[in-house]
């Protein structure tokens, strides 16, 4: 067996171990029994049957994945024991993510560095989800002290809200605490302080850039462009969000792996007009890196960017086999750092499946569409869109219980225009920082492109049969993906025979 195959199966073993432990609470005795079995296989097969040895390595990775998933839980939380108590807790630390302003309230993630409870002061490095009044306004990097009544998040009907928050390392919440600003002092070290300072600058630049776009382009187009450029959705009107949801365009408004993949493909295509393929590839990777930094490099954006770079690499190298290993490795690394994303992060799941669709389904469709002429890159966009949509469709039915008939045709109409909207939207933001007149002049072009996209989404959402209510149980999800896998294997086998 080739070394790369061994490595791939070890990665799959780890991912399956995490998946199993994420859905089932398996006693430690069973995992320990697995280790005993592995040791026996090694002892009986050493240098005699390398197939058994490789199987034992994959099984070892499986057990390691199970242990990793079970060890990543609220049991490790310092704050959880103080939640739902009759006394308050004093915490000192800093706001560690962008503040979400909702008008009368604000939500933010707070990293506690010091915890003071009756008769005890503890060091910590743990997040709390805070909800507070809309004023005064808080920002990322603000050092504050709060007196809070901690609560453990509760399950909401069929939604496992505690695990959803735990994927971001949040095990407790607090509402409307008493807050006062403080000096950092010795709460953080020099490295963490440098990180806070750097991201504070990034978020300030982002805020100024958003404000420049809002001055240069009228609403709701400005909020829409800020959404597709920077992932900022708080100012987008609810009606527009609903229209995009009904037509399967929500991924455009969020920074997802699918979104970045489309952007990366378009950026690469633009560079290919002027540069060699290899040079265009590196410029596209740099563009994704800068895009990640500008959006604040949140965990979801970083994961999406990794998927985007992976797609570019696959197209550049042109070897599906290497891409398969790279995809498993990327997933393995991300799941190792946060096992909860495998079960509870729908964005990660959708990005992962969309990437699989683009890596594996795109080549198959291309073989059957060789005679269809290319027209302004429309064919390439159509193939990528259809491939990704086919792979994420069962998961969308499972999570959202609806199927948008208009998703593919609307995506085919809108996606080719998105790069131009982003290009002129970005130029409008830059021009607006230099001159309001220049910003409005360039912004008018971005407004025109974005108006077409908003209009298409609006028309598509009004079609009465455009969205069907369809639900899919978990076993239906497994059956559908099993059928997709079998179909793909048969198509691949037929291609090899030909």
Q: What is the pLDDT of residue 186?
A: 82
List pLDDT tens digits, range 378-424. Answer: 677 778 778 877 888 888 888 877 777 777 788 778 877 877 888 78
Per-residue pLDDT tens digits for 418-457: 778 887 888 898 899 899 899 999 999 999 999 999 999 8
176 band by pLDDT with thresholds 50, 70 and 90:
very high
pLDDT at 298: 64
DSSP, collapsed to helix, strand or coil, labels residue 134 as coil
Indicate if the pLDDT at residue 369 is higher than 90. Answer: no
**pLDDT band at 145; cut points 50, 70, 90:** very high
- Give the residue-averaged pLDDT of 463-482: 79
Alpha-carbon distance of 354 to 342, in angstroms, equals 15
Per cent of the chain over pLDDT 90 is: 12
What residues form DSSP beta bridges with 111?
Answer: 94, 127
Q: Which of 56-60, 371-375, 425-429 has the highest mean pLDDT?
A: 425-429
- Tell which wins on pLDDT, 158 or 147: 147
Tell me what the pLDDT averaged over the chain comes to.
80
Asked whether residue 94 carries a pLDDT value surpassing 90, the answer given is yes
Query: Which of 89, 102, 93 lies closest to 181, judged by CA?
Result: 93
Closest CA to 316 of 288, 276, 289: 276
Rounded to the nearest 10 degrees, the angle between the axes of helix 346-356 and helix 257-272 is 40
Compute how many other C-beta atoms are within 10 angstroms of the C-beta atom of residue 201: 11
Q: What is the pLDDT of residues 294-324, one digit of tens each?
A: 666 666 677 667 766 766 676 666 555 466 7
Asked if CATH classification 2.40.50 holds for the domain at 80-187, the reply, yes or no, is yes
Q: Give the pLDDT score at 216.
A: 92
> Which of 458, 413, 455, 417 minimizes the C-alpha distance to 246?
458
Please tell me the predicted confidence (pLDDT) of residue 92.
92
pLDDT mean over 185-207: 85
Report the alpha-carbon distance of residue 89 to residue 120 in Å, rounded: 10
Q: CA-to-CA distance for 353 and 223, rounded, in angstroms?
A: 28
* pLDDT of 68 strictly over 70: yes
**pLDDT tens profile 225-266:** 888 877 777 778 888 888 888 887 777 776 665 556 656 666
Lowest mean pLDDT among 90-99, 202-211, 410-419: 410-419
Pairing label, strands 143-148, 178-181: antiparallel
137: pLDDT strictly greater than 80: yes
């Amino acid at each position: 067996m080739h070394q790369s195959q061994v490595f791939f199966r070890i990665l799959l073993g780890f991912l399956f171990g995490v998946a199993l432990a994420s859905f089932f609470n398996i006693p430690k005795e069973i995992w320990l029994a697995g280790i005993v079995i592995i040791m026996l296989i090694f002892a009986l097969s050493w240098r005699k049957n390398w197939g058994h040895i490789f199987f034992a390595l994959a099984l070892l990775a499986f057990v390691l994945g199970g242990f990793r998933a079970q060890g990543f839980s609220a049991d490790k939380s310092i704050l959880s024991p103080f939640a739902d108590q009759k006394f308050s807790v004093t915490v000192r630390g800093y706001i560690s993510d962008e503040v979400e302003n909702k008008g009368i309230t604000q939500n933010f993630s707070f990293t506690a560095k010091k915890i003071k409870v009756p008769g005890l002061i503890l060091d910590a490095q743990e997040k709390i989800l805070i909800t507070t009044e809309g004023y005064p306004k808080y920002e990322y990097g603000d050092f504050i002290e709060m007196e809070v009544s901690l609560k453990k998040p509760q399950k909401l009907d069929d939604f496992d809200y505690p695990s959803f928050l735990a994927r971001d390392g949040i095990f407790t919440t607090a509402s409307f605490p008493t807050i006062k600003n403080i000096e950092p002092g010795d709460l953080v070290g020099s490295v963490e302080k440098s990180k806070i300072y750097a991201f504070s600058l990034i978020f300030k630049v982002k805020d100024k850039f958003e404000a420049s776009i809002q001055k240069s382009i009228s609403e709701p187009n400005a909020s829409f462009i800020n959404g597709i450029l920077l992932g900022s959705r708080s100012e987008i009107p609810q009606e527009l969000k609903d229209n995009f949801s009904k037509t399967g365009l929500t991924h455009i408004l969020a920074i997802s792996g699918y979104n970045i993949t489309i952007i990366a493909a378009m950026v690469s295509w633009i560079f290919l007009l002027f540069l060699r393929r290899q040079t265009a590839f590196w410029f596209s990777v740099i563009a994704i890196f800068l895009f990640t930094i500008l959006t604040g490099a949140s965990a979801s954006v970083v994961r999406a960017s990794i998927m985007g770079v992976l797609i570019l690499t696959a197209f550049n190298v042109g070897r599906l086999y290497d891409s398969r290993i790279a995809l498993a490795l990327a997933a393995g690394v991300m799941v190792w750092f946060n096992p909860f994303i495998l079960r509870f992060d729908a964005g990660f799941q959708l990005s992962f499946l969309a990437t699989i669709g683009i890596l594996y389904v795109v080549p198959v469709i291309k073989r059957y569409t060789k005679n269809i002429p290319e027209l302004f890159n429309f064919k390439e966009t159509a193939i990528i869109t259809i491939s990704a949509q086919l792979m994420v469709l069962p998961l969308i039915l499972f999570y959202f219980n609806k199927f948008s008939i208009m998703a593919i045709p609307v995506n085919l109409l809108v996606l080719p225009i998105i790069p131009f909207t982003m290009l002129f939207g970005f130029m409008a933001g830059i021009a607006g920082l230099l001159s309001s007149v220049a910003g409005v002049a360039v912004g008018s072009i971005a407004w025109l492109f974005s108006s077409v996209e908003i209009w298409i989404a609006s028309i598509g959402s009004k079609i009465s049969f455009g969205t069907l209510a369809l639900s899919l149980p978990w076993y239906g999800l497994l059956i559908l993906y099993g059928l997709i896998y079998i179909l793909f294997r048969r198509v691949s086998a037929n291609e090899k025979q030909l």
